Structure 1
């Protein structure tokens, strides 16, 4: 029998929508609108994809990133509001952080981890924001060492502050964040700030104030000698991090490219019959995960299609 295809909702964007969208210029298939925000490295601009009416932006010579909304706010605000978090909540967040770090390490990425880089989604799950990071070859994580200096001094591992070669264990030093969640304070502070004095406190293990209920596990992550500091995998096996979770796995998901069978037939039909793309070009682009206008069109249309299906229910 013939495969049943759900008709794709009408995607044609009215001229009125394009005319009333406040924009300063057109770049490829997009209208570039007002500036939403700006930082040290980039500006956040509102954009409208002309073909679908979706608000996103991608061009051949620039990357415009549309990121998910983290409706739960940032972790720093959460700590400031409550002064300190309950151990059960800290355990949950730390599990998620270490699991995410393990995933990054598997892909050769060493991160700049600090409280300000942790956001919360609407389900109270941790989302890591990329600040500065460095890369290693995934198959030599335990052999190669990095030298590029990155990170904020209050959260940086001592080997970073000492300008020594470093490896993935700098991310285990994220125990600073776990300590801050549990206590509302940073473990190592110097007033007035002096980076040499800060480093010396770390090396000496001079933690400002250790409440009696701070777990030995969190303190173990603050081991100044990277050779003695546990690896991420070892930390994920510790009793404290798994308390209350039984044997629930923390293995990270591995990305795999789409196969032809994964592709939505309704979206493919719309792209070939209405937009005029060759089916072979669309399938080849999507299954090889190649950034292009075809990739943008497919995913924007797929999102629109999925929303319409949810609305129909």
Structure 2
């Protein structure tokens, strides 16, 4: 085995991290961003040096750094994206949405929900979403209104009950990637007029060099959800698979770890440096339930993997 990094966080790092208060095992730093419903604060975990946040009273979604930035910025910078790049992004989006639907999550996507990692892959982030039972995706309808009007499916704007096909309406984002504009716009903004444009399919002007792509997009922007294809059906279309040997992959669910799968090096450091007992670590990991132990394990596993990669690269 390659030598593992020490879990001891340098005191200089803790002292130099600008923060206003401490919550449990975390130092709370500056505000990174804020939206209508929450503020995003930077946090530093005192035990591992990882920048993340979790408290006894609140759940926080911790995401990896998306070094590629915001897809919206990419479109604004280039005016419009190349068709092959849009195809690649759309394949990833549909595959991710299929995975969400398997877990009963209906998202209602928009361009602002897409980030890019350092390998230029799409990462979906969450704004508003809704949930239903995974085994009733084709039967149960939702009624809670969520999403931005410019990206919302017609049934949402009409305050009708809806199902997972609202996510297929993400063809709006695909149109934006291809053209640099939204397919349905109203000036000054008026929801009723916007809805009517969607129903009448009064779409914005389209460049003539992307006719095949537009044909696929228009199939996603079908105003009648009963006629709109499902995510699975969209993933079977010819355009989306052009130039690819395989159809978009359906993401597999993570299985519970068995005791034999647990990394012994991480296990040793968690028992020695963090004070957890072997039995409680194994119990948490094999039950695959969100917890401090689960978070520590995966954070450290990632940290060790990055360290080992750096050692190999330095040889």
TM-score normalised by length of structure 1: 0.91
Contact 1:7–1:266 under 8 Å retained in 2:
no
Contact 2:28–2:42 under 8 Å retained in 1:
yes
- Aligned position for 2:229: 230
Offset at residue 302 of structure 1 (A): 2.4
- Change in CA separation of 1:203 and 1:268 when aligned onto 2, cut-off 3 Å: same
Provide the C-alpha distance between the structure 1 equivalents of 2:97 and 2:123, rounded to a whole number of angstroms: 11
| Higher Rg of the two aligned structures | 1
- Change in CA separation of 1:19 and 1:217 when aligned onto 2, cut-off 3 Å: closer
- Aligned position for 1:112: 108
Provide the C-alpha distance between the structure 2 equivalents of 1:109 and 1:41, rounded to a whole number of angstroms: 19
- Aligned position for 2:51: 55
2:38 is the counterpart of 1:42: yes
Runs of 4+ with deviation above 6 angstroms:
none
Offset at residue 8 of structure 1 (A): 4.1
- Aligned position for 1:21: 17
Q: Which has the higher mean CA deviation after the structures are superposed, 273-282 or 192-201?
A: 273-282
Offset at residue 225 of structure 1 (A): 0.8
- Aligned position for 2:185: 189
Corresponding residue pairs, total? 309
Offset at residue 45 of structure 1 (A): 2.3
* 2:197 maps to which of 201, 213, 222: 201
Offset at residue 156 of structure 1 (A): 1.0
- Aligned position for 1:214: 211
Provide the C-alpha distance between the structure 2 equivalents of 1:204 and 1:136, rounded to a whole number of angstroms: 30
Offset at residue 23 of structure 1 (A): 2.8
- Aligned position for 1:294: 293
Contact 1:145–1:165 under 8 Å retained in 2:
yes
- Change in CA separation of 1:53 and 1:120 when aligned onto 2, cut-off 3 Å: closer
- SS at 2:31 equivalent: strand
Q: Which has the higher mean CA deviation after the structures are superposed, 205-214 or 143-152?
A: 205-214
Q: Which has the higher mean CA deviation after the structures are superposed, 174-183 or 17-26?
A: 17-26
- Aligned position for 2:262: 263
Provide the C-alpha distance between the structure 1 equivalents of 2:96 and 2:274, rounded to a whole number of angstroms: 39
Offset at residue 281 of structure 1 (A): 0.8
- Aligned position for 1:134: 130
- Aligned position for 1:166: 162
- Change in CA separation of 1:53 and 1:205 when aligned onto 2, cut-off 3 Å: closer
- Change in CA separation of 1:96 and 1:284 when aligned onto 2, cut-off 3 Å: same
- Aligned position for 1:90: 86
- Change in CA separation of 1:269 and 1:151 when aligned onto 2, cut-off 3 Å: same
Offset at residue 251 of structure 1 (A): 1.8
- Aligned position for 1:278: 277
Structure 1: gaps spanning 5 or more residues: none
- SS at 1:23 equivalent: coil
- Change in CA separation of 1:15 and 1:154 when aligned onto 2, cut-off 3 Å: closer
- SS at 1:84 equivalent: coil
Contact 1:6–1:266 under 8 Å retained in 2:
no
- Aligned position for 1:178: 174
Provide the C-alpha distance between the structure 1 equivalents of 2:152 and 2:310, rounded to a whole number of angstroms: 47
- SS at 1:219 equivalent: helix
Q: Which has the higher mean CA deviation after the structures are superposed, 150-159 or 208-217?
A: 208-217
- Aligned position for 1:73: 69
Offset at residue 53 of structure 1 (A): 2.6
TM-score normalised by length of structure 2: 0.90
- SS at 2:20 equivalent: strand
- Change in CA separation of 1:173 and 1:269 when aligned onto 2, cut-off 3 Å: same
- Change in CA separation of 1:184 and 1:283 when aligned onto 2, cut-off 3 Å: same
Contact 1:95–1:241 under 8 Å retained in 2:
yes
Contact 1:58–1:296 under 8 Å retained in 2:
no
Provide the C-alpha distance between the structure 2 equivalents of 1:200 and 1:21, rounded to a whole number of angstroms: 52
